[in-house]
Structure 1
């Protein structure tokens, strides 16, 4: 899995690219929280849920359907999230977690298609180094993970954010 900071950067970059008039700062922050939330499934380890179970780590909570369900509940409970654009943004923000996890080179894949299929999948290419957990994060392997994330996720996200900003400025005549 990528680090928690990297999961949050994807929706923040999307929000920066779209601009405040399309994605409010509150919705952007909610997107960042939802992008990190799927890893709360690790509580299952303490409850005896096996990693490979449908509700285990990288299971149902990492799926596109689960992301859409959580975005729908969020929209039902929070007036600011009730536009189609906000709903789509929040869905993609949360779904980005599982999508990023499919790009990693370790662990089980993500159950992107749950509840229709429980198979864990990886992307055809897995360039992102899987993040070590706990104190191992502060090691050479942890540094290699951060460099990998910088190259494959942070820099493309920065390009997206800057590109969106430049396009909006150009559209506003300067």
Structure 2
């Protein structure tokens, strides 16, 4: 798995792509937390649940069904001010579904551990993508303060942080270009001699 930091960064970058509006701190905490939430299943190791079990690591909490339930729970409980089943409500639900599901997708790009149970509980198979460039992250914070940990950090910077940072920048530039075009059209419409200006 990539580290919790990389999962959280991916969610924030997706959030910045999702909206250009100023969102509350709660939105960003929920986005980052949703992306990291699936790794809650590491508790299975301490409970003696086998890795390959449906409830083992990278099992149910990494599935698309869990992402669906979690996205629904977050929006239902934390965004009560939004009219339920409105366009904004469905948009928020879709975002938190994607933010949560992004965890499993990133894990499927790693080069170790068991695959990801995308379709648990309907299908117990574990999946990796054909290309697995991300070094699998060690479990436990202490493991990062080692040569192996540094290799993982470098891998995540290149394969996770950089692509999502580019996505974030591209979304920001696109919005800036669109807003600049709108302002230019407004300015042109108000110039002396223009049809809009003459009507006013």
TM-score strictly above 0.5: yes
| Residue equivalent to 1:94 | 100
How far apart, in 1, do the equivalents of 2:147 and 2:51 lie? 26
TM-score in terms of structure 2 length = 0.82
Q: Does 1:103 align with 2:109?
A: yes
Q: For 1:1-174, list aligned pairs within 5 A.
A: 1-21=1-21, 25-78=25-78, 79=80, 83-134=89-140, 135-173=142-180
How far apart, in 2, do the equivalents of 1:91 and 1:80 lie? 19
Q: For structure 1, list consecutive stretches of 5 or more residues without a partner in the other structure.
A: none
State the 1:25 CA deviation: 4.5
Q: Moved runs in structure 1, 4+ residues, more than 4 A?
A: 22-25
TM-score in terms of structure 1 length = 0.93
Please report the RMSD computed on the Cα atoms of aligned residues, expressed in angstroms: 1.7
Higher gyration radius (CA): 2
How far apart, in 2, do the equivalents of 1:126 and 1:80 lie? 41
State the 1:101 CA deviation: 0.5
Count matched residues. 174
How far apart, in 1, do the equivalents of 2:20 and 2:55 lie? 35
Q: For structure 2, list consecutive stretches of 5 or more residues without a partner in the other structure.
A: 182-200
State the 1:141 CA deviation: 1.0
